[in-house]
Structure 1
Amino acid sequence: MSLQNDTSAPSKNSKTKDKILKHALKLFSSKGYKATTVRDISGSIGIKQSALYNHFKNKDAILETLISNLTSSAIVTLFDDKDTQALQMQGKALLLSLATTFKLIGFDGQNEALLRLLMQEIYRNEHIREIYNEYFYQENVKKLSGVFFGMMQEDIIKSSDPLLLANEFFAPLFFYQMQVSLLKLDKKSTSSVVSMFEKHVDYFWDNIKITKQETLF
């Protein structure tokens, strides 16, 4: 009997910890980290504060765990385990895939809440700023600029500054994603913004691609 209890205990603890993180993320992203108390979190789950402290030392420890989850969010893992040469041969399809990922984040509760938490705490928390700069911005821009450079070498797109192109591609996506999040927060229609992701890709690609006529010169 005791062996069965020992075996099931880690699973139960893990589920409770996951619940704490899930409810904390919801509260942090809606009320704000500072305004949310440990009592709020434990109360939303239906457990005592003492039970919560069995899993996390304090509210800061919960936030730190959530921050670590940012590094595995959809935006951060855009290029994970993908070969640059294979990516560059996808051409416009790659850009459409990236834009779609940004769009879908606005309709995924977990990723949207993580992004909202990031935006709220980025000025207060140095660790969050470091994650944003390194993973959300620098790594993705660096990877895409490398892909663009390869496309230029293969005469797929026009010769230009690949780093500047990468910034120009990503910047509107962050803006549109934020617009979707804000409209949803105010319970307004997102239809006018949703179509902008694909329109951005169309416009961007039409301006950088090399046409058949241009390859003749």
Structure 2
Amino acid sequence: MPKQKNTKQKIIDAAIELIAKQGYRGASVRKIAAAVGIRESAIYNHFRNKEEILKQIISEIFVTPFEFKDLEEKAKKGKSFLHQFVVAYKLISFDKKKEKLFRVLMIELFQNKGLRESFLQEFHQKDIQQLSKALFIMMQEGLIRSGDPMFMAQEFLAPLFYIRLQVSLLRIDSKSTAPIATQFEKHADFFWESVAL
């Protein structure tokens, strides 16, 4: 079993490199197999098709830092919980390989309906739901004012996505990202001040 897991990760790693260099269309299953050093048919032991490989990659690039165990206990920490989230989000945003793929996949999301639906259901909604649960717990604990936790979650996440987009736009033109490096933490502080009791 470990051998299969290892091969699956090799397929993902090879696909990441190829998609980052050649785009989704350019990274064929044949090329991915060649990069791994396996037959093309062997890929289908791990993935149904190329789109499934892409979905797996997206799950790593758009990974939610909210996949915490003991969400309730951590949410009770209020501001430090939000800081944990933005630091994890920041690390993902500044990871060069993930940032490069973020650009490629943003383009692909506009062109691929199935991928778009998968992203919205599996990643975007998952983040909103997890964050809204955490915010609701904070409300129950008397840490933040009462309100619509789903709306508050969207208000918290939207600027983070925008900052991540800025990182990509600056890197495309080889400009420094230093001026926005602290924006993640500043956003968490600003948000907390606007909702804290």
The two structures share one fold, judged by TM-score above 0.5: yes
Indicate conservation of the 8 Å contact 1:75/1:101, yes or no: no
Moved more, 80-89 or 191-200: 80-89
Matched ranges for 1:36-55 at <5 A: 36-37=27-28, 41=32, 45=35, 51-55=38-42
CA distance in 1, matches of 2:120, 2:191: 24
Q: What amino acid maps onto 1:70 in structure 2?
A: I
CA distance in 1, matches of 2:173, 2:39: 32
Choose from 92, 98, 103 the match for 2:90.
Answer: 103
Matched ranges for 1:112-191 at <5 A: 112-191=99-178
Indicate conservation of the 8 Å contact 2:30/2:40, yes or no: no
Q: What amino acid maps onto 1:153 in structure 2?
A: Q
Which residue of the partner structure matches residue 77 of structure 2?
Answer: 90
- How big is the shift at 1:198? 0.8
Moved more, 180-189 or 91-100: 180-189
- Secondary structure of the 1:25 match is helix
Which residue of the partner structure matches residue 25 of structure 2?
Answer: 34
- How big is the shift at 1:53? 1.4
Which residue of the partner structure matches residue 53 of structure 2?
Answer: 65
The runs of 5 or more residues in structure 1 that have no matched partner are: 1-9, 211-217
Residue by residue over 1:75-95, the C-alpha shift from the partner in whole angstroms, topping out at 9 and shown as x without a partner, is 434232533421321111111
Distance 1:195 1:177, change over 3 A: same
Moved more, 108-117 or 192-201: 108-117
CA distance in 2, matches of 1:26, 1:172: 28
Q: What amino acid maps onto 1:53 in structure 2?
A: E
Choose from 13, 35, 38 the match for 1:22.
Answer: 13
- How big is the shift at 1:18? 4.4
- How big is the shift at 1:194? 1.3
- Secondary structure of the 1:144 match is helix
- Secondary structure of the 1:106 match is helix
- How big is the shift at 1:119? 1.2
Identity %: 37
The runs of 5 or more residues in structure 2 that have no matched partner are: none
More helix, by proportion: 2
CA RMSD of aligned residues (A): 3.0
Q: What amino acid maps onto 1:168 in structure 2?
A: E
Question: TM-score, normalised on structure 1?
Answer: 0.74
Indicate conservation of the 8 Å contact 1:20/1:52, yes or no: no
Distance 1:27 1:154, change over 3 A: same
What is the aligned length?
194
Question: TM-score, normalised on structure 2?
Answer: 0.80
